[in-house]
Chain A
Amino acid sequence: MEWKGAEPCAMGTAAMGRVFTGQQARAFTDLAEVIIPPGGEWPSAGEVVVLADMEARCEDTFGLRDAVCMVLDSVHQQAMALEAASFGALPPGRRIEVVKQVEAAAPAEFRKLVECIYEFYYSDPGVQRTVEQRTRFRIRAAVDGVSVAQFEDVLFRVAEVGARERRVRRVEEA
């Protein structure tokens, strides 16, 4: 059953155990696609980010739910005002225009949503593999460790510094 109320967020009650209305849910998925679009080996956030994660995040983070719902409602309303169509139905250029307008109108709230999308996106195992392939930064190194190189190869340079004039301020002058 679709939620028919106008402002489930403002009421503080999720419909059927969900945070978002159907319209908000669609707007979220479409917006994620604009925030991080596909490119080369990179999937889009729309492909990767799971709606349920966003809803769960809204439920356990104070103040997030209202901010996110406001942004999603604004995206829909701006799209309707511009083209009398849902956000997802807009051509790509118009979608970006709408998102920029929403960002300018509510930068703090928009930032919260973007950070959530980034967080979910870069936690995805497939995206993490792409990060490693594209940047050669091994995310798993923080879990598995790395081969720790010996320090000795710069010791002679340390010794050179150690031989320099001492520069410790004398406190006796106080």
Chain B
Amino acid sequence: MTERNAEEADIVVVGAGAAGAAVSLRLAERGAHVVCLEQGGWVNRDELPKRFADWERRGRRYWHPDPTARRWRTDYPVRSVGDTPVNPWLYMVVGGSTVGFGGVYWRLLPSDFRTHSLDGFGVDWPISYEDLEPYYDQNEKIIGLSGMAGDPTGPDRIEPPLPPVEMGRIGKMWIDAFEKLGWYWWPQDCAISTRDYGQGRGECLGRGFCRFGCPSGALATVDVSYWPQALQAGVDLRINARVRKISVDRTGRRVDSIAYYDGDGMVRELRPKVLVLSCGGVGTPRLLLMSSCAAWPHGLANSSGMVGRNLMLHVHSLVVGRFGAPVDGDHGAWGGSVSSREFYETDTGNGYLRGFTLGARRGLAPMETAMQVVPWGNSHHAEFERRVNREGVVAICGDDEPEVTNGVALDWDKRDQFGLPGATISYALSGNSIALGEAAIARGRELCMAAGAEEVRDTGLAPVSGWHLMGTARMGDDPAASVVNADHQAHDVDNLFLVDGSSMPTGGAVNPTNTIQAMALRAGDRLVARRSEFGI
């Protein structure tokens, strides 16, 4: 059943995750009337896995990061079909995938915006680090960044609002190892409040294993950091609102309406003056491809053919050192205690372009350790005791070059409860990514040995964790090679803006949430500056 009369709106934002929340807040606090459609609901914070002693089991079941395994009512299916298997990692709720993140919160470096000019890698951004810098500052204040200014491997910056997270005994072991090797290191910036930050954002109690949600609200998931402020600013957030189609006018150059299913399954229609898509690196191209029409037969705003292409995931692996004695594995920041950009930039002596970060932290949880490496049978208990609380992890994150062959497409074989298509991820690690990843693993092993590990293992380069979903509707100056311009405005459709990780032309070698939110705040300001063009 469809409502007869479409509702008028100034700005409609689709997606209430990291980017959607940030752009909604910025637009609303500048006076715009914003409706935000989120296909999921609020996370029930009383049911977070870490409220319960069997948190690991709950985390593997209903909190699973793969929507196809988790199967929440509001999810759509996502599956990997490429040469390199990818484990999808995304949440469709208020807060988006931040509800399952670790809060590792880097900035990109100035060189990340110029990788093509500097190294012949990927493409240059149409904006610079300096364009984003004030928005990094603003975002870090909103989310309550913990960390320290002064890292000699990063640009000058203001002091974060909160001091760094606890390192624990393992963190100090990692520092010793970095020093032994002569590698630069620095306390990890985290989206974790190390002091009470107001609005229910309590002090971190060091529970760890942040991806299972944070009962104290110390972890700056967007549902507890941005959304209280956005609602206060007047954003009209509509949950369980599943978008099915975006329609354009006869010219094909303007979004006319957007149709969505509400929580009762009724089709509703909005007619926005401006539409902002913030559904992430999978959700945004999926919605554009679902909205193909006579004017845009290959997907809305897709004259370039770049919608859904150039997917970047980061080169990722865990290098795990096993030590001879307990390391207080239940202490220390989970996402990262001490990190290094020692190998961040291109070294012409390497067999690959660009580089990686090393994030050193506590070990894995007991059940996860057992799943990964403890054999069944008579040696089970001895091997379990040899590993649990005696391991530390070095997480590698490497730059992944955008390639048109890696991407997201509609999956008509797997559909959601309304019959809308799911998404496939087709991805293959490039030769550069493999060479870079192998070098990063070798450095991670070196670090473990320097820390005194008796044995080192790694999780390899695949399956790839599909959590940093970037590049699938990238920004650029050339309409033939990009989907949006430097203001996130679609080249093809005047009142359509794409604001999330899909806009990133390259991904750097760090976790992208800080950058995505800084981009979203900037996009909000750019839109406000041009509001008269859209009759707002």
* A residues lining the B interface (CB < 8 Å): 34-37, 39-40, 42, 61-62, 96, 99, 114-115, 117-120, 122-123, 125, 128, 131, 134-149, 151, 154, 157-158, 161-162, 164-171, 173-174
Residue pair B184, A161 in contact (C-beta under 8 Å) = yes
Judge whether A131 and B388 touch: CB under 8 Å: yes
Q: If A42-B381, A119-B367, A161-B185 touch, does A167 touch B388 (CB 8 Å cutoff)? A: no
Among A117, A143, A162, chain B packs the most CB atoms within 10 A around the CB of A143
Chain B nearest CB: distance from A14 CB in Å? 20
Q: How far is the CB of B220 from chain A (nearest CB, A)?
A: 17
Q: Which B residues from 51 to 103 make CB contacts under 8 A with A?
A: 51-57, 60, 69, 71
A42 to B114 CA separation, bound complex (whole angstroms):
56
| A142 and B209 contacting across the interface, CB-CB below 8 Å | yes
Are A135 and B388 in contact, with the CB atoms below 8 A? yes
Contact (Cβ within 8 A) A162 B151: yes
B389 interface hit (Cβ, 8 Å): yes
Closest chain B residue to A146, Cβ basis: B206
Do the beta carbons of B377 and A161 come within 8 Å of each other? no
Of B60, B117, B203, B389, which contacts A174 at CB under 8 A? B117
Q: Are B366 and A145 in contact (CB under 8 A)?
A: no
Which chain B residues (22-72) contact chain A, with CB distance < 8 Å?
Answer: 50-57, 60, 69, 71
Residues of B within 8 A of A165 (CB): 152
List of 8 A-B pairs having minimum Cβ-Cβ separation, nearest first: A145-B205, A174-B117, A137-B389, A162-B150, A123-B54, A141-B330, A123-B57, A146-B206
What A residues does B110 contact at CB under 8 A? Answer: 168-171
Contact A148/B381 with A36-B376, A174-B114 known, Cβ cut-off 8 Å = no
Bound-complex Cα distance A164 to B151 (A): 9
Q: Please, how many angstroms separate the alpha-carbon atoms of A140 and B209 in the complex?
A: 12
Given contacts A137-B388, A151-B163, A174-B117, contact A167 B109 (CB under 8 A): no
Question: A147 to chain B: which residues have CB within 8 Å?
Answer: 206
A29 to B389, CA, bound (A): 29
Q: Nearest-CB distance from A82 to chain B (Å)? A: 18
> Which of B164-172, B293-301, B504-512 lies on the face that meets chain A?
B164-172
Q: In the complex, how many angstroms separate the beta carbon of A123 from the nearest chain B beta carbon? A: 4
User: Roughly how many angstroms separate A165 CA and B479 CA in the complex, as a whole number?
Assistant: 41
Chain A positions within 8 Å of B216 at CB level? 145
* Contact indicator B377/A135 (Cβ below 8 Å): no
Question: Could you tell me the distance between the alpha carbons of A119 and B64 in the complex, rounded to whole angstroms?
Answer: 14
When the two chains form their complex, are residues A35 and B377 in contact, meaning their CB atoms are under 8 A apart?
yes
* A148 and B118 form a contact (CB under 8 A): no
Q: Tell me the minimal C-beta distance from B150 to chain A in angstroms.
A: 4
Complex partner residue of A166 from B118, B152, B204, B365, CB under 8 angstroms: B152
Q: Mark B256-271, 1 if CB is under 8 A from A, else 0.
A: 0000000000000000
CB-defined contacts of B69 to chain A, threshold 8 Å = 61
Chain A positions within 8 Å of B56 at CB level: 119, 122-123, 139
Residues of B in contact, count (CB < 8 Å): 74
Structural contact, A148 and B205, CB atoms closer than 8 A: yes
Which residues of chain A are within 8 angstroms of B370 by Cβ–Cβ distance?
118, 122
**What sequence of 0s and 1s flags, for each residue 101-138 of chain B, a beta carbon within 8 Å of any chain A beta carbon?**
00000000111011001100000100011000000000
User: CB distance A118 to B371 under 8 Å?
Assistant: yes
Given A136-B389, A145-B205, A146-B206, the answer on whether A151 and B152 have CB atoms closer than 8 Å is no
CA distance A116 to B208 in the complex (A): 24
Given contacts A36-B380, A118-B367, A137-B330, contact A151 B166 (CB under 8 A): yes
When chains A and B are docked, how far (Å) is the Cα of A151 from the Cα of B129? 30
**26 pairs from A and B in contact (CB 8 Å cutoff):** A35-B376, A35-B380, A36-B381, A37-B378, A39-B381, A61-B69, A62-B71, A99-B377, A118-B374, A122-B366, A123-B57, A135-B326, A139-B330, A140-B53, A141-B206, A143-B50, A143-B55, A146-B205, A151-B163, A154-B175, A161-B152, A161-B185, A166-B152, A169-B109, A174-B114, A174-B118
Interface string of B200-238 (1 = CB under 8 A from A): 000111111100100010000000000000000000000
Chain A residues contacting B283 (CB-CB under 8 Å) are none
- Interface assignment of B7: CB less than 8 Å from any CB of chain A: no
Q: What separation, in Å, do the CA atoms of A174 and B128 have in the docked complex?
A: 12
| Nearest-neighbor residue (CB-CB) of B148 within chain A | A158
Q: Which residues of B contact A164 (CB under 8 A)?
A: 152, 184
B50 and A142 contact, CB distance less than 8 A: yes
A21 to chain B, nearest CB (A): 23
A46-B142 Cα distance, complex, nearest whole Å: 51
Query: In the complex, which residues of chain A have a beta carbon less than 8 angstroms from the beta carbon of B422?
Result: none
Contacts of A144 in B (CB 8 A): 205, 207
Instruction: Identify the closest chain B residue to A35 (Cβ).
Output: B376
Task: For the A-B complex with A151-B194, A158-B187 known, give 4 more contacts whose Cβ atoms are closer than 8 Å.
Answer: A39-B382, A154-B171, A157-B175, A171-B111
Q: Are A122 and B111 in contact (CB under 8 A)?
A: no
| Closest chain A CB from B263 CB (angstroms) | 23
B389, A148: Cβ atoms closer than 8 Å:
no
CA distance A133 to B168 in the complex (A): 20
Which of chain B's residues have a CB closer than 8 A to the CB of A125?
53
In contact, A115 and B52 (Cβ under 8 angstroms): no
**B361-404: contact bitstring with A at CB < 8 Å (1 yes, 0 no)?**
00001110011001011101110110011100000000000000
User: Does A115 lie within 8 Å of B371, measured CB to CB?
Assistant: yes
Cβ of B351 under 8 Å from chain A: no
Q: Which of B315-370 contact A (CB under 8 A)?
A: 326, 329-331, 345, 365-367, 370
Out of A35, A134, A142, name the residue touching B55 (CB < 8 Å).
A142
Q: Check if B154 is an interface residue, CB within 8 A of chain A.
A: yes
Q: Is the CB of B376 within 8 A of A34?
A: yes
Residues of B within 8 A of A136 (CB): 326, 389
Question: How far is it, in angstroms, between the C-alpha of A171 and the C-alpha of B55 when the chains are bound?
Answer: 46
Minimal beta-carbon separation of B342 from chain A (angstroms): 9
Per-residue interface assignment for chain B, residues 154 to 189, with 1 indicating a CB less than 8 Å from any chain A CB and 0 otherwise: 110000000111111001100100010000111100
Asked whether any CB of chain A lies closer than 8 Å to the CB of B417, the reply is no
Complex interface: chain B residues within 8 A of A157 (CB)? 175, 179
- Cα distance, A164 to B185, chains bound together (Å): 11
B360 to chain A: closest CB distance in Å?
13
Q: Which residue of B lies closest to A155 (CB)?
A: B148
CB-CB < 8 A to B128: which residues of A? 171
Residues of B within 8 A of A146 (CB): 205-207, 330-331
What is the bound-complex CA distance between A169 and B114, given in angstroms? 11
Contact of A34 among B153, B164, B205, B377 (CB under 8 A): B377
Question: A145 touching B207 by the CB < 8 A rule?
Answer: yes
